[in-house]
């Protein structure tokens, strides 16, 4: 299997330091070989800030990674900037964008088996020409897909959750929901749970939109008008799917034992429980793509960058999950 490609993220954030920490813990964490695209000097500064003694080696080809990974962190490309933790600027954003583009190119060419993206600052990237609401939408476009064919799932040891609407105002959620959207994304999730996560018979649970899942229409009609009909259609197709469930009851320890993934109606309905349960091990994985993409489910944390405070757990989990999914896909042909 080809090595994993890791994009450096915003160099002023915690991405570089959690990347070097991940490499330092590669053996105990059971990580597949990976390389970083760009930012050798930034990574060296991050290692010094964490008091890590490690070698960082430039490579010209990802094929060099297997023979090098055991003794040095491989870096593809010579693009770099001065390290200024906690002080984002356009030069750093340009490096983040270049790293993302080149890492993606490696995966599309097959010289990398998956991409793991370190955290970016969307506003900073927009200033240097990034036109997408987030990285999920970017990957859909580069893979030649419609944005709604790429599904964001947040995954941790305690929960997998999928927001059916993502980067939009809460006031827009009801208008964006449709029976077709729920059905299409549920099919993508079920297929990915089987092929990427090895779950032979995936179980899905669907949140309601309104308090108490609408309370029989007293608090809104989206459940009866949109969500329940979608669930019935999917059941008719043979899917193991339940709901609509009141969201305040779906994430309890007992309830979480009854499903493999929860489908939420909007961003925070999925991310609040995931981050409350698994903040230091949460992974953002994009389902439905022909390539494998994961990311730690947290942001750039500019306020603690360079201070030795960032927990690398989510990055380690993202690298591990990318390797596992790539291996599962390879096994399935």
**Span 151-288: which CATH code?**
3.40.718.10
pLDDT level of residue 324 (50, 70, 90 thresholds): very high
User: For 23-69, how does the pLDDT look when each residue is reduced to its tens digit (9 = 90+)?
Assistant: 999 999 999 999 999 999 999 999 999 999 999 999 999 999 999 99
Of the listed ranges 25-39, 69-83, 118-132, 165-179, the one predicted with least confidence: 118-132
- Whether 333 shows a pLDDT value over 70: the answer reads no
CA 169/CA 276 separation, integer angstroms: 22
Quick check: do 1-148+290-333 and 151-288 share a fold?
yes
pLDDT exceeds 80 at position 77 = yes
**What pLDDT band is residue 167 in, cutting at 50, 70 and 90?**
confident
Q: What is the mean pLDDT of the chain?
A: 94
* Domain boundaries, given as residue ranges, for the chain: 1-148+290-333, 151-288
Q: Is the pLDDT of residue 236 over 80?
A: yes
Q: What is the pLDDT of residue 205?
A: 98
Residue 38 φ/ψ, nearest 5 degrees: 75, 170
pLDDT tens digits along 127-143: 888 888 888 888 999 99
Least Cα distance to 58 among 42, 48, 72 occurs for: 72
pLDDT, average across residues 255-263: 98
Question: Tell me, what's the pLDDT at 22?
Answer: 98
Chain centroid to CA 193: how far?
15
Query: Under CATH, which number does the domain 1-148+290-333 receive?
Result: 3.40.718.10
For residues 263 and 187, is the Cβ–Cβ distance under 8 A? Answer: no
Q: Which two tokens stand for residue 276?
A: 């409350």
Mind listing the pLDDT tens digit for each residue in 172-227?
Answer: 999 999 999 999 999 999 999 999 999 999 999 999 999 998 788 888 899 999 99
pLDDT score of 121 more than 90? no
Taking the complete model, does pTM exceed 0.75, yes or no? yes
Query: Given pLDDT bands bounded at 50, 70 and 90, which one contains residue 147?
Result: confident
pLDDT digits (tens, 9 = 90+) for 292-315: 999 999 999 999 999 999 999 999
């Amino acid at each position: 299997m080809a090595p994993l490609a890791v994009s450096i993220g915003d160099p002023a954030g915690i991405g570089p330091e959690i990347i070097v920490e991940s490499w330092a813990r590669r053996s105990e964490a059971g990580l597949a070989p990976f390389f970083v695209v760009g930012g050798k000097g930034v990574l060296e500064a991050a290692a010094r800030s964490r008091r890590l003694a490690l070698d960082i080696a430039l490579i010209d080809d990802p094929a060099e990674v297997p023979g090098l990974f055991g003794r040095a962190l491989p870096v593809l490309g010579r693009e770099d900037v001065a390290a200024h933790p906690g002080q984002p600027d356009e030069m750093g954003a340009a490096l983040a964008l270049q790293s993302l583009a080149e890492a993606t190119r490696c995966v599309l060419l097959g010289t990398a088996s998956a991409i793991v993206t370190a955290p970016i600052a969307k506003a900073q990237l927009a200033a240097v020409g990034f036109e997408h609401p987030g990285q999920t939408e970017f990957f859909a476009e580069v893979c030649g897909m419609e944005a709604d064919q790429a599904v964001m799932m947040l995954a941790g040891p305690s929960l997998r959750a999928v927001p059916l609407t993502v980067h939009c105002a809460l006031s827009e959620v009801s208008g964006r929901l449709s029976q077709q959207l729920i059905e299409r994304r549920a099919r993508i999730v079920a297929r990915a749970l089987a092929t990427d996560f090895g779950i032979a018979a995936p179980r899905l649970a669907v949140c309601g939109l309104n308090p108490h899942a609408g309370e029989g229409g007293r608090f809104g009609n989206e459940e009866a008008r949109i969500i329940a009909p979608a669930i019935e259609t999917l059941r008719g197709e043979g899917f193991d799917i339940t709901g609509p469930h009141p969201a305040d009851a779906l994430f309890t320890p007992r309830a979480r034992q009854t499903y493999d993934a929860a489908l939420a109606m909007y961003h925070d309905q999925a991310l609040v429980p995931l981050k409350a349960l698994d903040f230091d091990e949460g992974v953002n994985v994009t389902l439905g793509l022909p390539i494998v993409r994961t990311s730690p489910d947290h942001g750039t944390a500019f306020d603690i960058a360079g201070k030795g405070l960032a927990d690398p757990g989510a990055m380690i989990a993202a690298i591990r999950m990318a390797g596992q999914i790539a291996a599962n896909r390879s096994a399935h042909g």
